[in-house]
């Protein structure tokens, strides 16, 4: 793929193909580029940053992100978050790891937003700003300049349904209001509205997809740890106002992504809306049920065990009165926005112990990383044992690049990209690298197919 020149001038050209502008075709689909924030393609990337600093920041973002999924409420005495015995302070821009380009309004204003499988609403900063974070990458969206902008009235089914994903706010006149809040204390508050969203299709450099009447939050009060390079957030979870849910039958209620390794040379990952034509049925595809929990729209899966070589380590979360081991359904969240995979403390300890037994190289301590188990980066990859994640009805074989994150400024260390947690378990994005991962919201399935995402 061609490299991006991240400037607003370029983006204006990027979306200027008015002749080839197409309406969204019912039953069709499209793909867009998904850009890791630490990739050289990203505006967050700086060659002056040390690789070790980027690696540690990604780990800290994962730790902080646990608060987004946690049922535990932070107290005023301790607003930091904890993964195992590691406490994280606030890291700027922790909302997610992946970015996407899109445009809002008519005429279309290009924006860069976080694409997040752990969020259930679309929102962008809007004028007038009561309180806005600095936005340097693109102008703040001005609804008065768009001919297709429309506030959603209070007395509508949409406004009534908003209470399932947003804190309730009294209507301002007849305008429905939303309040998106995050576990780290960040908030976005504003008018709930309808607007046209436009996407650049990766299938053709001269093809864009325009979708009308999309419900979104027009944020007039946005505070917290959002980055000045972003303009907002595109929710991809199962909530009623996520991008996936609103596209609905037009994409067969499906979306997928194929994540390249962050160290891949200037290659973007791909996010596909609709049935993925490359996810063919057969022995290479495995599927596991999505467990939807009450009042939550995250994607919960059931991880039954992890095998290291021939040793199977069960994921046990509770014990009955007669000491029969029980497995809780929906015991882990699959999340594209978390770098590392977090496992319950005892489960992680058993997994780490088996990895140490299997790898016949002495581990080393890296004082610059929060990861627990590290080896010299030039160690023979063949020493890494076969590791399989056993989900209900789906066994996923992980390769060394799914298990280890290269740390240090010259990749001198390879550290196990897992951490213990005393809170919610999360299946992060490193273990998802080089898999097509498809979410089917109707059949409530997540499917995996091993592939080379650089070739997709």
Rg (C-alpha) for the chain, rounded Å, is 22
Catalytic site includes residue 452: no
| Exposed/middle/buried for residue 74 (C-beta within 10 Å: 0-12, 13-18, 19+) | middle
**Phi, psi for residue 281 in degrees, rounded to 5:** -70, 155
**Phi, psi for residue 84 in degrees, rounded to 5:** 65, -125
Catalytic site includes residue 409: no
Alpha-carbon span 274 to 209, nearest angstrom: 13
Q: What tokens appear for 197 in the block?
A: 């969203």
The residue annotated as part of the active site, out of 116, 184, 237, 440, is 116
The residue annotated as part of the active site, out of 184, 335, 366, 440, is 335
Query: Of 183, 47, 39, which Cα lies nearest the Cα of 97?
Result: 39
Q: What tokens appear for 302 in the block?
A: 């059931």
> What is the set of active-site residues?
116, 335
């Amino acid at each position: 793929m061609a490299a991006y020149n991240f400037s607003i001038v370029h983006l204006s050209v990027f979306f200027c193909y008015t002749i080839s502008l197409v309406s969204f075709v019912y039953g069709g689909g499209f793909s867009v580029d998904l850009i890791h924030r630490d990739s050289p393609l990203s505006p967050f990337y700086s060659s002056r940053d040390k690789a070790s600093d980027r690696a540690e920041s990604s780990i800290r973002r994962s730790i902080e992100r646990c608060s987004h999924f946690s049922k535990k409420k932070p107290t005023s005495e301790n607003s930091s978050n904890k993964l195992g015995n590691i406490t994280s302070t606030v890291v700027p821009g922790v909302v997610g790891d992946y970015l996407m380009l899109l445009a809002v309004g008519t005429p279309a204003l290009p924006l860069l937003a976080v694409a997040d499988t752990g969020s259930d609403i679309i929102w962008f900063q809007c004028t007038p700003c009561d309180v806005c974070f600095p936005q340097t990458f693109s102008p703040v969206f001005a609804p008065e300049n768009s001919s297709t902008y429309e506030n959603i009235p209070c007395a509508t089914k949409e406004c009534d349904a908003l209470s399932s994903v947003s804190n309730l706010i009294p209507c301002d006149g007849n305008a429905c209001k939303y309040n998106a809040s995050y576990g780290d204390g960040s908030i976005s508050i504003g008018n709930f509205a309808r607007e046209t969203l436009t996407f650049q299709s990766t299938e053709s450099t001269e093809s864009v997809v325009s979708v009308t009447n999309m419900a979104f939050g027009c944020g007039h009060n946005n505070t917290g740890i959002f980055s000045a390079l972003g303009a907002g957030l595109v929710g991809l979870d199962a909530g009623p106002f996520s991008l996936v849910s609103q596209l609905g039958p037009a994409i067969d209620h499906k979306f997928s992504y194929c994540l390249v390794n962050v160290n891949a040379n200037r290659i973007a990952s791909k996010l596909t809306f609709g049935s993925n034509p490359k996810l063919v049925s057969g022995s290479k595809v495995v599927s596991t049920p999505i467990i939807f929990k009450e009042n939550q729209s995250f994607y919960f899966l059931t991880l039954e065990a992890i095998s290291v070589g021939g040793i199977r380590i069960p994921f046990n979360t509770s014990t009955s009165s007669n000491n029969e081991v029980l497995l809780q359904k929906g015991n882990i969240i699959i999340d594209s926005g978390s770098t590392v995979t977090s496992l319950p403390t005892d489960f992680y300890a058993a997994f780490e112990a088996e990895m140490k037994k299997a790898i016949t190289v002495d581990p080393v301590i890296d004082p610059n990383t929060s990861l627990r188990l590290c080896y010299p980066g030039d160690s023979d990859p063949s020493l890494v044992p076969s590791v399989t994640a056993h989900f209900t009805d789906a066994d996923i074989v992980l390769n060394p690049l799914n298990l280890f994150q290269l740390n240090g400024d010259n990749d001198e260390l390879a550290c196990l990209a897992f951490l213990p947690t005393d809170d919610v378990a999360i299946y992060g994005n490193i273990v998802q690298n080089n898999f097509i991962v498809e979410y089917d919201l109707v059949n409530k399935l997540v499917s995996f197919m091993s592939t080379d995402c650089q070739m997709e």
